[in-house]
Chain A
Amino acid sequence: MGNLGVFVDRQVMGSSEQLTALIRLRDQAEAMGHAVYFIFPVEVRKVARVDGLFIRSRTDPLHISYVAAKLAEFHGIPVIDDPVSIQVCSDKVNMYLHLMQGQVRIPETRFLSKGEITRAGAEEVFASLGSPVILKEPSTSFSLRVEKVETVEEFLKVAHRFIKLSDWIVAQQYLSSSYDWRIGVLDGKLLYAAQYIIPSETFKIQDTVNGHLVYCAVKSVPAQEVPRPVIETGIAAARAIGRGLYGVDIKVCDGTPYVIEVNDNPSLEGGEDESYPDLYRRIVAALVGEGPG
């Protein structure tokens, strides 16, 4: 029997969907003979006492979740998300550099530094990437600070806003689709697959439209119904980052899959596991073993 720590924060515990997912994880771990302890930020030192740590909190190298991951690493405790995955996936520049290095297909992508945020620079980006262009501030999550721009003026307005938060920003070719594939990968193997159906009011899986939050619909899809190239692309993208748990977003355009991003700490509360009843068992097993069951 092992002790599984689940690092959470108030925001996570305040969401009924996320709380339900955590309870299912706890029930699964207990059914496998393990004890589960929820660890809050002020208790981060308790990380040293568990046998495996599952982080369910916003991840960023400057957030307390990174402290939890590093403490686990320092104590030799298996952790999802591990510090390297947080560092790479929480920074789209780093993430895309890893995908490029791993020869994973992504939309045409440029990294822009402060000196390139000029009218001439914007015109050059439109000339090379077409219009519209997607601009991303590297630390964006939940599609925040991801904007579609169609004119030089829009480009400059958004880019100047983003460059205040990061010395490099991302400009990317726009690819249109009515849904994204979300390929869940654990330890380099397929964990689940789902379609994230993009709301008609936006081009993102989550957005604020006229002051209202709109979310994508989630449709869990059995592995045998997912195009093979999509699964292979998802696994290749995850392996370009590491061996942890990732949710890889993929758009298929003209039959070709393109990785839009690799998420550490992927959502599990949207029904992603509907076609994958062993999803939580596999996560628990990766952290604290199969247990006596």
Chain B
Amino acid sequence: MTKGERQDPFTTGSIHLRHVGQATYVISEDYSFKTETYYRIVSLEVEGKTPVPSSRETLEAYVVPVCLARAHGAGIPVLPWEISDHQVPLPAILYGVNYFADPSEYSVVRDPETAARVVRFITNSGKYPFCYQAIGEETEILLVTAIFGRTASAPEEVVPLCAEIYRVFHIPLVNCIFGRTGDRFALSALTPVKYSSLARDERAILQQVMEEECHG
């Protein structure tokens, strides 16, 4: 590091707290259940403080069917979803719904053999159900990083959706997975973001929001 150059505060695993009014904004890579970040949030809540996001919001964001039901209720377009224990229409996006599931680990399946293999894996050989989202043959998957609802280089149709997703879930740093069919975008899931995956302009947004007002 040269003289005058600031050290990057967003090192792997780092958690940043910013107090704005009554709220404590918690900026982290991963808000998953039982992570250090999750427990920091729970501790703040039990102390009577108001963390952003709340622990309830983190669960609503990362449990895929709950996320989509909540987003749909708020008027955000979502991919149609169902729960199954073995059958799945093709093509589809698949997510596990169980203790070991990670929404980052989704699978797009387009043929029966792949579908059967993925289903066997994400259900632990039929032990758990899973969530599928039927998509069209022409549907593409798009991952957009939202920083307090802001984006750096997303298609313009997605920009207001990311702002709305932040308004609903209040996750400061989140990857939004969309299904894109023509010029229509529908939310598929919300997933954690690694600081190391942030592009320079995304990192600049995060730094700016942290330094300014945390309101997004």
A contacts, CB < 8 Å to B = 41-45, 60-64, 66-67, 70-71, 74, 83-84, 87, 91, 93-94, 97-98, 100-101, 111, 113-114, 138-139, 165-168
Known: A63-B97, A67-B69, A139-B34; 12 extra A-B contacts, CB below 8 A, are A44-B65, A45-B82, A62-B63, A64-B98, A64-B129, A66-B63, A71-B66, A91-B34, A94-B55, A97-B43, A98-B46, A139-B99
Inter-subunit contact B36/A168 (CB<8 Å): yes
- Kindly report which residue of chain A lies nearest to residue B126, judged by CB atoms: A10
Nearest-CB residue, chain A, relative to B33: A61
**B83 to chain A: which residues have CB within 8 Å?**
41-45, 64, 67
8 A-B residue pairs with Cβ-Cβ distance under 8 Å, sorted by A, are: A45-B82, A45-B83, A63-B128, A64-B98, A66-B63, A87-B59, A138-B34, A167-B39
A15 CB to nearest B CB, Å: 16
| In the complex, per-residue mask of B30-66: 1 if CB is within 8 Å of any chain A CB, else 0 | 0001111011001100100000000110011001011
Interface positions of B from 140 to 182, Cβ below 8 Å from A: none
Report if B136 contacts A (CB, 8 A). no
Report whether B46 and A61 are in contact in the complex, using a CB–CB cutoff of 8 Å.
no
Chain B residues lying within 8 Å of A74, measured Cβ to Cβ, are: 69-70, 73
Check if B14 is an interface residue, CB within 8 A of chain A. no
Do B59 and A61 touch across chains, with their CB atoms under 8 A apart?
yes
Q: How large, as a class, is the contact surface on chain B?
A: 20 to 34
Which residues of A sit under 8 angstroms from B38, Cβ to Cβ? 167
Query: Chain A's nearest CB lies how many Å from the CB of B81?
Result: 9
Query: Is B101 interfacial (CB-CB < 8 Å)?
Result: yes
Contacts of B34 in A (CB 8 A): 91, 93, 138-139, 165-168
Q: B67-89: contact bitstring with A at CB < 8 Å (1 yes, 0 no)?
A: 00110010000000011110000
Whether B85 lies near A41 (C-beta < 8 A) is yes
With A63-B99, A64-B83, A70-B69 as known contacts, state yes or no: A167 contacts B43, CB within 8 Å. no
Report the separation of the CA atoms of residues A160 and B60 in the bound assembly, to the nearest whole angstrom. Answer: 29
Chain B neighbourhood of A94, CB < 8 A? 42, 46, 55
B67 to chain A minimum Cβ distance, whole angstroms, is: 10
Evaluate contact between A60 and B99: CB separation under 8 angstroms.
yes
- If A41-B129, A42-B84 touch, whether A62 touches B98 (CB-CB below 8 Å) is yes
Residues of A within 8 A of B97 (CB): 62-64, 67
Report the bound CA distance from A167 to B15 in whole Å. 14
- Shortest C-beta distance, B52 to chain A (Å), equals 17
CB distance from B85 to the nearest CB of A (A): 6
A43 to B34, CA, bound (A): 28
Q: In the docked arrangement, what's the CA distance between A84 and B57, Å?
A: 11
Closest CB of chain B to A258's CB: distance in Å?
A: 20
A86 to B, closest residue via Cβ:
B59
CA–CA, A111 to B73, complex, Å? 37
Whether the pair B84, A87 counts as a contact (CB closer than 8 A) is no
Shortest CB-to-CB span from A126 to chain B, Å, is 23
Nearest CB of A to B62, in Å: 9
Q: Are B33 and A67 in contact, with the CB atoms below 8 A?
A: no
Interchain CB contact (< 8 A) of A87 among B36, B39, B55, B129: B55
Bound form: Cα–Cα A98–B48 in Å: 11
**Inside 8 A of B85's CB, which chain A residues have their CB?**
41-42
Contact of B66 among A42, A67, A98, A100 (CB under 8 A): A67
